[in-house]
Amino acid sequence: MTRTFVLVWILLALSACDASFGRRWDIGGPIAGATPEAFESRILEAVSTYGAKEGLACVSGGHLPVECYLQPVRVWAVAGAHGATVCYAAMGVPFERGEYEARMKALGAELDAQVGGGRVTVTAGGCPPPPSFSRQSD
């Protein structure tokens, strides 16, 4: 009886632990002959389309940065010196890993479809902070 109680307690304790899921994509700069605005527009479209499919509320001024959020998921894209960075972050429990992996794969596919040309790479580095984290409150 005590052994069963301990096993149940351990199972409940482990299943309630938070886990974070995330991925970063770096996207190489504009294709030769394309304007930086057109390049950013494609990334904005990819993130916004993904956000709409997932029911995320997106905020952007019609250009990068863009941020989509619905707890526990946040997706954002920011322009960089040599292209752009797109990030996905979510919190959940460990057994949800497969669901979040599928969502990250879908975002990567959307980025590939919009930008293409082998310009999208998954990188191991950390993400820049989401745009909302750097906004000043009034």
Q: Give the total number of structural domains in the chain.
A: 1
Residue 4 lies in a domain: no
With tokens 């109680």, the residue in question is: 5
**Which pLDDT value is given to residue 12?**
58
Say how far apart CA 112 and CA 94 lie, in whole Å.
28
Residue 2 lies in a domain: no
Q: What is the pTM of this model?
A: 0.83
User: And the tokens for 45?
Assistant: 């479209």
Within 10 angstroms of residue 97's Cβ, the number of other Cβ atoms is 12
**Structural domain that includes position 63:** 18-128
Residue 91 lies in a domain: yes
Task: List per-block mean pLDDT (blocks of 10 residues) for the chain, which spans 138 residues.
Answer: 68 69 91 80 95 96 94 95 93 92 96 87 90 68
Residue 48 lies in a domain: yes
Residue 8 lies in a domain: no
Mean pLDDT, the chain, integer: 87
Residue 1 lies in a domain: no
Q: What is the CATH number of the domain that holds 117?
A: 3.30.160.110
H-only helix segments in the chain: 2-15, 36-54, 97-115, 131-134
Find how far residue 103's CA is from the centre of its chain.
9
Residue 43 lies in a domain: yes
